[in-house]
Structure 1
């Protein structure tokens, strides 16, 4: 397969950061085939329409916590395109609750989406990627590396992603696979809007800013940045009060 005809899988591409990443990467010359995945078909259709029309974009609306479905998807993609060169694990779930308010169902759903789906996708993709090398990028959060009272399930699941990324960076290096992990801070997404409805989203980081960082990481400029927890945040402007 030509080095200019690479294949990229992006989860959580129906909105927010995942959508912005898909749009940004579709303008790269080296990636021809895009497989975008999410639960929401309407959102995926809209993302596909916003991507570079010269690229081959295929979308799958599916439950990424279903291991058998993930196996079938990756098998189909690997056989159809011959290689899988990029995997971006962006899909996420959040319903912040304090310890005593967190139900078992909340805890399990958070880990199924934020941790288990990354394990499922990465395991199946590496079966193909180890033959050719490639790049994997996981989206964690600054909540995974600092205390977040009232966000126990979410913050601990993101900490798990950071740890997984660091371990896999070492484990998969023998195959020529680079593993990156980014931890965005406050970002203007639909999820953030639901969590902080009174926040002025024009004052915080935008999904396009994160997508730009990801595009840069997955280029040759990303050398020596794999295996690290890379914080991506917009510094808040301090307003000094007059005396």
Structure 2
């Protein structure tokens, strides 16, 4: 079966890495890439397996009706949607007293509401044949992150949404996965930790390979869980072991 896969946030970082990794699989023929940055999507497409059918949409995910229209158009065109990978996210880390209601709402529109919207539209097609949904949350969503209130709480919402949908959609043969990357060298991470050396932390390609495995037969027992993906700080571990 030649599958159709939708990836949001595919213009850079983890979304791009996932698109590249999945494009070399034999079972996926059609890719729909969505991001606000159209030029970034073009760069991603050039790095993918060019034998695949790739369609790119420069689209703001908070334009809910337009997004719904694209999903309906693609679902009708290819007859099915087999995979939906929600990567796109937004962060503007501030403390409670520094966070405006406008920025709080923007964070939730991008990180939560847009995922609800696109997932609902994709499931209208998936429920006929089954499928896989993967949501990218964050380790920030499962621990206290002072100064990151809006971002961390929005990612906590995605973790719970994924777990709930895993049970709700199981009757349709739809598997729902959630991964929570730790520190990863993305543009978003630069906003959260501007002084960090990106070469010392996990790279987007590492996450892309994890997603590839999850969406294969090997990941059939891992849906419904919040899967933490992080690079261990081995230097610190070695130093601690030497102290004993």
TM-score range normalised by the length of the shorter chain = over 0.9
Deviation at 1:71, TM superposition (A): 1.3
Deviation at 1:213, TM superposition (A): 0.4
Deviation at 1:195, TM superposition (A): 2.9
Q: How many residues end up aligned between the 2 structures?
A: 240
1:158 partnered with 2:159 = no
Instruction: State the match for 1:225 in structure 2.
Output: 222
Deviation at 1:240, TM superposition (A): 2.7
Deviation at 1:196, TM superposition (A): 2.2
Unaligned stretches of 5+ residues in structure 1: none
- What is the alpha-carbon distance in structure 1 between the residues aligned to residue 29 and residue 233 of structure 2? 38
Please, which moves more after superposition, 63-72 or 52-61? 63-72
Instruction: State the match for 1:112 in structure 2.
Output: 109
Is the contact between residue 91 and residue 191 of structure 2 (CA under 8 Å) also seen in structure 1? no
Q: Which has the higher helix share?
A: 2
2:120 match: secondary structure: helix
2:134 match: secondary structure: strand
Q: Deviations over 1:159-217 (max 9, x none)?
A: 00000000000000000000000000000011212332321111100000000000000
Instruction: State the match for 2:40 in structure 1.
Output: 43
Unaligned stretches of 5+ residues in structure 2: none
Q: Give the TM-score normalised by the residue count of structure 1.
A: 0.96
Instruction: State the match for 1:174 in structure 2.
Output: 171
Deviation at 1:66, TM superposition (A): 1.4
- What is the alpha-carbon distance in structure 1 between the residues aligned to residue 194 and residue 180 of structure 2? 22
Q: For residues 62-211 of structure 1, what are the structure 2 equivalents within 5 Å?
A: 62-211=59-208
1:199 match: secondary structure: coil
- What is the alpha-carbon distance in structure 1 between the residues aligned to residue 216 and residue 181 of structure 2? 19
Q: Deviations over 1:4-36 (max 9, x none)?
A: x11000000000000000000000000000000
